[in-house]
Amino acid sequence: MSAKRLPETIAYVRITRQSWQQGVLEGEVRASEFEWHFQWCFRRGELSVKPSQGRALIQEPLGRFLEQRDYQLEPGGDYAFTIRAEL
């Protein structure tokens, strides 16, 4: 019996703005044919993702990625992470 592979999609993140004083990180994320803009208020733990189309697919994995890599992320930086779903 062969193991079934889970579907995967690569999400690409670009950080466009960071303010430690305001506690905000902003950027763009692309996955498949979707593209979103996000604002993460890390001091309050709030992540907003726009537009709403496909937001339910990206918000949780993006939040985990940002929390894990927060101090490594810099404006102008390009990053990627894997989503265990096919978008």
Give residue 44's Cα distance to chain centre: 17
Q: Would you state the structure tokens that stand for residue 57, as one six-digit string?
A: 């697919």
pLDDT of residue 3: 65
pLDDT of residue 51: 96
User: Residue 1 above 60 pLDDT?
Assistant: no
Say which residues have a Cβ less than 8 Å from residue 1's Cβ, sequence separation at least 6: none
Q: Tens digits of per-residue pLDDT, 37-84? A: 999 999 999 999 999 998 998 999 999 999 999 889 999 999 999 998
pTM of the model: 0.87
Q: If you average pLDDT over residues 12-35, what whole number do you get?
A: 96
Instruction: Decide: 12 and 2 in contact? Cβ < 8 Å.
Output: no
For 72, phi then psi, to 5°, come to -95, -10
User: Residue 5 above 90 pLDDT?
Assistant: no
Say which residues have a Cβ less than 8 Å from residue 56's Cβ, sequence separation at least 6: none
Q: Would you state the structure tokens that stand for residue 46, as one six-digit string?
A: 């709030």
pLDDT of residue 74: 93
